[in-house]
Amino acid sequence: MSNALMRGIASAGHNVTIITPYEDNRPIRNGSYRTIVLDGFADNYQNDMKTLNLFELHDFNDFTQEAIFQDYMYSKSELLVKMPSVQQLIKSQETFDAVIIEQFSNDGLKVFAHIFNAHLIVFCPIGANNFVNRLVGNPTMVSYNPQIVSTFSRPMKFRDRIHNTLLYTYEEIMNYFVFLPRHERFIREHFPGAPNIYDISTNVSLVLLNSHESIWQSVPLVPNAVPIGGFHISPPKQLPKEIQEFLNSAKDGVIFFTFGTNLKFSDIPESKQIIFINAFGKLKQKVLWKLDKDIIHELPENVKVAKWFPQSDILAHPNIKLFISHGGLLSMTETIYNGVPSLVIPVFADQATNANHAVKEGYGLSINYHDPNFTEELLTATVQELLQNPK
């Protein structure tokens, strides 16, 4: 997602330097695109994902989840700033016109705008929310805008609004008295001559929001909070030959199933793995399934698995009849763009809210992964309903 944003800026003729865990040597036609690779950072993240089961976040309440995300992202800020490649850039005395920081519990990294004498632009991977609203004075409407870690649907019931207000108040108190002071210590340790975190984090020139008014609810926005949802979508590219043939040969269509990048299907209990396998085996449609690693059960003949698929390009294929996903915002945006009915199985964070929105607006149905009534029969019936009566 961030890669698509930065490559788009470079393609418009600008010189771009991106700090990233991954090398990207694809040429840019107009501007320049330099990657500063964080050696070992991706491996560190993958090791974290081996020990962290995101399906179990549901066991923690909304307030505890907030603290978990904050602690984790702070540790990654500490790791990033100590990387030799980052230290070399810091000491290079280079300057930039703008520094773009993705907003996700990493406020201390906004000090880069001061270091490089640049305007600070914040990129938010979701829509307007309390984490970015406070940076530019945008109002947070707790009466109808659910907090990120909540599972509330819109419109919220009265008791949900009370819970939402308490969660908002908790976030504000924790941010001011716990999270920001911790990032202030981060800045004092690594960049002692920089302004304080409170001045840095509110000196934001522009907020880019990964949302769009055509597919989301109306929210108040100040002029420098700009929705750019869908920016990552490009015209479909030619699919790999094996996938193309699989899709073209499906006379009854294809169901595409993925839980995204971070959620690993292998973390699901065996009893739930069998639910999916048995349900897919009953279908006359083919199933294209993104699976992080081999599982012990034999898969039905109509199922094709791989560790990675070009998701947006596959969704553009006319034989895709249904998209089953975790309800991440990028996936939901691609679903809408390509006009594919969606079955959303949310697990954590904003996914439940996205799922509820899909049901409310009529472009999908949802099953609660954590519901004890999640059965093979329920999954099969919901899939059939979407296949037979797509809106």
- Looking at the structure, do residues 219 and 280 belong to the same domain, yes or no? no
At residue 256, does pLDDT exceed 90?
yes
For residues 251 and 335, membership in a common domain is answered with yes
What is the pairing mode between strands 15-20 and 32-37?
parallel
E runs forming strands in the chain: 15-20, 32-37, 98-102, 119-124, 206-209, 225-227, 254-257, 286-290, 303-306, 320-325, 342-344, 364-366
CATH assignment at residue 366: 3.40.50.2000
Does residue 383 sit within a domain? yes
Side chain identity at residue 124, one-letter code: C
pLDDT digits (tens, 9 = 90+) for 55-109: 565 656 666 767 777 888 888 889 999 999 999 999 998 999 999 999 888 899 9
User: Which long-range contacts link 29-33 to residues 24+ away (Cβ below 8 Å)?
Assistant: 33/6, 33/7
Q: Which domain holds residue 75?
A: 38-227
Q: Calculate the dihedral angle through the C-alpha atoms of 52, 58, 365, 298, rounding to the nearest 10 degrees.
A: 50
Phi and psi dihedrals of 363, rounded to 5?
Answer: -105, 15
pTM: 0.86
Q: Predicted confidence band at 126 (pLDDT cuts at 50, 70, 90)?
A: confident
Distances in Å between the Cα of 81 and the Cα atoms of 92, 97, 135, 180 are 14, 21, 22, 17
Average pLDDT over residues 222-247: 92
Q: What is the pLDDT of residue 57?
A: 58
In this model, does residue 23 exceed pLDDT 90? no
What order do you get walking across the sheet with 225-227 strand by strand?
98-102, 119-124, 206-209, 225-227
Helix (H, G, I), strand (E, B) or coil at 386: helix
- Average pLDDT (361-377) is 88
Using one digit for the tens of pLDDT, what is the confidence trace for 299-327?
888 999 888 899 999 999 999 999 999 88
Residue 195 domain flag:
yes
DSSP codes joined into one string, 277-336 = HHHHHT-SSEEEEE-SS--SSPPPTTEEEES---HHHHHTSTTEEEEEE---HHHHHHHH
246 plus 384 within the same structural domain: yes
Helix (H, G, I), strand (E, B) or coil at 187: helix
138-178: pLDDT as tens digits: 998 888 888 776 777 778 889 989 988 998 898 889 889 99
Q: Give residue 112's identity as a one-letter amino acid code.
A: F
Task: Look at residue 35 and give its three-state secondary structure.
Answer: strand
| Cα 236 to Cα 48: distance, rounded to the nearest angstrom | 33
When comparing pLDDT for 21 and 386, which is higher?
A: 386
pLDDT tens digits for range 74-89: 888 899 999 999 999 9
- Looking at the fold, whether 223 and 89 belong to one and the same domain comes out as yes
Same domain, 324 and 194: no
Query: Number of folded domains in the chain?
Result: 2
**Which two three-digit tokens encode residue 285?**
């449609």
**CA atoms lying within 13 Å on the CB side of residue 51:** 6
Contact assessment for residue 362 and residue 391, using Cβ atoms and an 8 Å cutoff: yes
Number of C-alpha atoms within 13 angstroms, CB side, residue 227?
A: 17
Establish if 20 belongs to a structural domain: no
Predicted pLDDT of residue 251: 92
Looking at 160, 194, 227, the residue that finishes a domain is 227
Q: Which of 141-150, 182-191, 286-295 ranks highest by mean pLDDT? A: 182-191
| Contact status, residue 210 vs residue 125, Cβ threshold 8 Å | yes
Total length of the chain: 391
Pair of tokens at residue 158 = 């009265």
